[in-house]
Structure 1
């Protein structure tokens, strides 16, 4: 999925799009994508000036946005507008810094009406840097 298609699957727009590319989107199953972490992003000024580290809250947002592509039906081009409803058991295992590619794999674990629990694993290279469960809800 090219960058231009990301706008079809996300309700977010600049400056809050936290995904550079979606590499897999299997409707109601799983999704994969990544964000290239850059020195040119606003958070590098204050988190932290001499040693920028990608903020944990933005890691969660990136995982949620990649996970949201689980609800993207590429065949019809339809996407549900989703919301982050809960954050559970998130672990930050390694710092993520400018120059890294923050890769996310998300898998649908359980659904109840419009609430969907997804398991997310984020890595840089072959190292897992963050993992946990997110609950997303969506509306039509």
Structure 2
């Protein structure tokens, strides 16, 4: 059995995710294998709007946005694994466990997010996420998402 990996450019990501600037946090998908894993990149620029206040003179990429970037990567993997949603359906970020921040992410860094499918149970899909910069872990977490109809 052979496995096939794929890449996605920003134009393809925009077709999958509803997020737009300044909240689209995945710049490119480096590789993915459906139902297994996805590796994506976020290029951290000093021009990000939140750096004006987080923190003046010592800009640090907010931890909650690292988690959001990993969650967006899980969304892309889910879309590429199970296909497009039916009209009126959404993927929701349903939960996070065991989030740990190991070191700061700063302007000029290239953050690599790797998300791995773990399991689906009772309508929730669980993923393991790890974000790295220069091969060093900056954040890791377990994330859950749910596929649901809009209220």
TM-score (norm 2): 0.84
In structure 2, how many angstroms separate the alpha carbons of the residues matched to 1:28 and 1:83? 18
Q: CA deviation at 1:18?
A: 0.6
Mark the CA change 1:113 to 1:25 in structure 2 (over 3 Å): closer, same or farther. Answer: farther
Q: Which runs of 4+ in 1 moved over 4 A?
A: none
User: Does the Cα contact within 8 Å between 1:28 and 1:108 map onto a contact in 2?
Assistant: yes
User: Does the Cα contact within 8 Å between 1:10 and 1:79 map onto a contact in 2?
Assistant: no
Partner of 2:12 in structure 1? 5
Partner of 1:95 in structure 2? 104
1:16 equivalenced with 2:30 (yes/no):
no
Q: Deviations over 1:24-56 (max 9, x none)?
A: 232222111010011101110000011000001
Q: Report the 3-state secondary structure (helix = DSSP H, G, I; strand = E; otherwise coil) of the residue aligned with 2:120.
A: strand
Partner of 2:84 in structure 1? 79
Structure 2: give runs of 5+ residues left out of the alignment: 1-7
Q: Report the 3-state secondary structure (helix = DSSP H, G, I; strand = E; otherwise coil) of the residue aligned with 1:14.
A: coil
Q: How many residues align?
A: 138
Partner of 2:34 in structure 1? 27
Q: State the Cα RMSD in Å.
A: 1.7
Mark the CA change 1:107 to 1:17 in structure 2 (over 3 Å): closer, same or farther. Answer: same
1:42 equivalenced with 2:13 (yes/no):
no
Structure 1: give runs of 5+ residues left out of the alignment: none
Q: CA deviation at 1:86?
A: 0.4
Mark the CA change 1:139 to 1:24 in structure 2 (over 3 Å): closer, same or farther. Answer: farther
Question: Which structure has the larger Rg over C-alpha atoms?
Answer: 2
Partner of 1:112 in structure 2? 121
In structure 2, how many angstroms separate the alpha carbons of the residues matched to 1:25 and 1:113? 25
In structure 2, how many angstroms separate the alpha carbons of the residues matched to 1:56 and 1:99? 16
In structure 2, how many angstroms separate the alpha carbons of the residues matched to 1:49 and 1:79? 41
TM-score (norm 1): 0.91
